[in-house]
Homo-oligomer: A and B are copies of this chain.
């Protein structure tokens, strides 16, 4: 197997630097679009053969060094008892939003084998189809991010309902976070038992918190998740979107790898994280609009900066956009391999 990604996860600086892309199984790929013409997003997540197929596509087409399970961070939230829909271009809708004691009581813990069997089946099929070419990454949302989605009932600009609950109803927020944390641990354990070789926790919304609030209301729950997976021998990546102001705190999560948003340049990020941290990132997804020569210089610059970390996994600083051509994405993967060889 191509071990570069797992070696880097464990803190071993490798040449060439391994690379994968957040949302690498996605709409920018014509092969993915072909499947999505016949089936909606949520059904695709729940159809193991097809979910496995789209997860493998970027390995075949781009030559990335890791596959990631095709799924959505809200899948376990639906299993907890919320209605889940995705509307084209609008993001997810979760119903009813969790705002009261009664809403909270309507939620339940999950048994992944019973409640989300399709995720575990996707992992098992994927393991076979990948036949040890590259490692397989599982994932979940971070507790705060899932809570924010659940409280808002979807995305939000201000997250006023979420912060309102934190400040006005801590006796509601705290058990909600406990429940989500417990679910997340069992969900990730099940993915690991089914065969994923690394996990990534996506904290999409923690960046709306000040460092002080993050340390109280988000980070401790992420730490509990990583602690809950200790002893399973599976490396963990922690990605906070738009969390530049939280960089000094994130290694406290206990993650093996810190994923970096594109906003903070890698050199600055590493100097704030300290040299003993493995980093993942952080090309601006929109840099894939650059002409080849500019893209080459940009990739080279990130690779050079990444050498100051303990180890580096190349990635985008956020998910790849549907507007990007897959040829450009492939060029980027090739450039990473070539320039770090």
Copies of this chain: 2
One digit per residue, 1 when the CB lies within 8 angstroms of any chain B CB and 0 when it does not, for chain A 278-306 equals: 00000011110111001000000000000
> Does A160 reach chain B (CB closer than 8 Å)?
yes
Q: Which of B163, B244, B321, B323 contacts A244 (CB 8 A)?
A: B244
Instruction: Check if A167 is an interface residue, CB within 8 A of chain B.
Output: yes
When the two chains form their complex, are residues B265 and A211 in contact, meaning their CB atoms are under 8 A apart?
yes
A154 → chain B closest CB, angstroms = 12
Interface residues of A in 245-296 (CB under 8 A from B): 245, 262-265, 268, 284-287, 289-291, 294
**Does A131 make an interface contact (CB < 8 A)?**
no
- Residue on B nearest A264 in the bound complex, by CB: B245
The answer to whether A263 and B245 touch across the interface, beta carbons within 8 angstroms, is: yes
Expressed in whole angstroms, the Cα–Cα distance for A107 and B244 within the complex equals 37
Task: Indicate whether A164 reaches chain B with its CB closer than 8 angstroms.
Answer: yes
CA distance A312 to B248 in the complex (A): 26
Tell me which residues across on chain B come within 8 A of A268, comparing CB atoms.
Answer: 211, 245
Contacts A290-B167, A294-B167, A321-B160: A210 and B284 contacting too (C-beta < 8 A)?
A: yes
B262 and A210 contact, CB distance less than 8 A: yes
27 contacts across the A-B interface (CB closer than 8 A): A158-B285, A158-B286, A158-B321, A159-B286, A160-B289, A160-B321, A160-B323, A163-B287, A164-B286, A166-B289, A167-B286, A167-B287, A167-B289, A167-B291, A167-B294, A168-B289, A207-B263, A208-B263, A209-B263, A210-B263, A210-B265, A211-B265, A212-B265, A213-B284, A244-B245, A245-B263, A245-B264
Given A158-B286, A167-B287, A212-B265, 18 further pairs, Cβ under 8 A: A158-B285, A158-B321, A158-B323, A159-B286, A160-B323, A163-B287, A167-B286, A167-B290, A167-B291, A167-B294, A168-B291, A207-B263, A210-B265, A211-B268, A244-B244, A245-B263, A245-B265, A245-B268
